[in-house]
């Protein structure tokens, strides 16, 4: 296996640099200023391994899709919706388990993305991306409940921006890897396996509280 084909594993493993489900960029303190809200929003999707893994998976799934930008945009927009649900005090039972489950789901989708030489249909992926995005956005909302208007707006801008950058970055790097002779199908298979395994670990951790 060429070293470049290990790239997805390196990126995905980086997501486990912080404890699962303890994604509070401000150390549990509610952001009080615009800058604190922005920094918190930028950090939240990155320091949460469950969030980071799914964002990377979304980026990988956009490779080879003629309307990949629509898939990525649907996911990011849905995270805003999920945060709104949290701010509205809507309770989603077993949210942490469900969020961890989306990691397994996206790993499975990645693994089968190039099955029989065809990518999964965009029409099938979009509802999944929206549902998963809403769940992850619900988790993002936990860190901003009770904040003022200025840090809240900054927080929303921050996590939307970082997710877009990550998706585009993964898409670009996967394309670059393909130019080095590594088939996209191989990248999907390696990444899908890694995401699925790490997702199972996250589900177990969530079930154990």
Q: Are 209 and 99 in contact (CB under 8 A)?
A: no
3-state secondary structure of 135: helix
The CA radius of gyration of the chain, in Å to the nearest whole number, is 16
Q: Given a cut of 70, is residue 71 above it in pLDDT?
A: yes
Residue with tokens 């860190």: 143
From 29-38, 57-66, 194-203, the region with the lowest mean pLDDT: 57-66
pLDDT band (50, 70, 90) for residue 59: very high
Average pLDDT along the chain: 86
CB neighbours of residue 39 within 10 Å:
18
Cα separation, 169 vs 140, whole angstroms: 21
Structure tokens at 111: 């693994």
3-state secondary structure of 120: coil
Q: Are 162 and 170 in contact (CB under 8 A)?
A: no
| Length reported for the chain | 209
For the segment 90-122, what is each residue's pLDDT rounded down to a tens digit? 999 999 999 999 999 999 999 987 654 455 666
Which uninterrupted H or E stretch holds 189? helix 184-207
Q: Are 48 and 143 in contact (CB under 8 A)?
A: no
Q: Judge residue 2's burial from the number of C-beta atoms within 10 Å of its C-beta, 0-12 exposed, 13-18 middle, 19 or more buried.
A: exposed
Q: What is the pLDDT of residue 12?
A: 44
Q: Given a cut of 50, is residue 11 above it in pLDDT?
A: no
Domain ranges (residues) in the chain? 29-207
Mark out the alpha helices in 16-148 (DSSP H runs): 34-47, 49-61, 68-87, 95-111, 122-141
Q: Are 58 and 71 in contact (CB under 8 A)?
A: yes
Phi-psi region of 120 (alpha: psi -120 to 50; beta: other; left: phi over 0): beta
- Least Cα distance to 87 among 39, 26, 151 occurs for 151
């Amino acid at each position: 296996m060429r070293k470049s084909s290990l790239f997805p594993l390196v990126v995905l493993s980086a997501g486990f640099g912080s404890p699962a489900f303890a994604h509070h960029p401000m150390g549990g303190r509610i952001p009080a200023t615009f800058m604190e809200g922005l920094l918190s929003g930028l950090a939240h999707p990155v320091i949460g391994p469950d969030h980071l893994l799914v964002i990377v998976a979304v980026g990988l799934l956009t490779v080879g899709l003629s309307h990949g930008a629509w898939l990525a945009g649907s996911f990011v927009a849905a995270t805003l919706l999920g945060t709104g649900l949290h701010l509205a005090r809507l309770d989603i039972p077993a949210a942490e388990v469900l969020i961890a489950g989306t990691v397994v789901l996206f790993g499975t989708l990645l693994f089968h993305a190039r099955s029989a030489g065809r990518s999964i249909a965009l029409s099938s992926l979009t509802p999944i991306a929206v549902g998963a995005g809403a769940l992850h956005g619900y988790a993002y909302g936990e860190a901003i409940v009770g904040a003022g208007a200025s840090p809240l707006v900054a927080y929303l801008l921050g996590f939307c921006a970082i997710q877009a950058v990550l998706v585009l970055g993964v898409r670009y790097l996967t394309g670059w890897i393909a130019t080095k002779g590594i088939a996209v199908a191989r990248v999907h298979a390696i990444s899908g396996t890694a995401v699925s395994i790490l997702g199972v670990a996250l589900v177990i951790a969530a079930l154990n509280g």
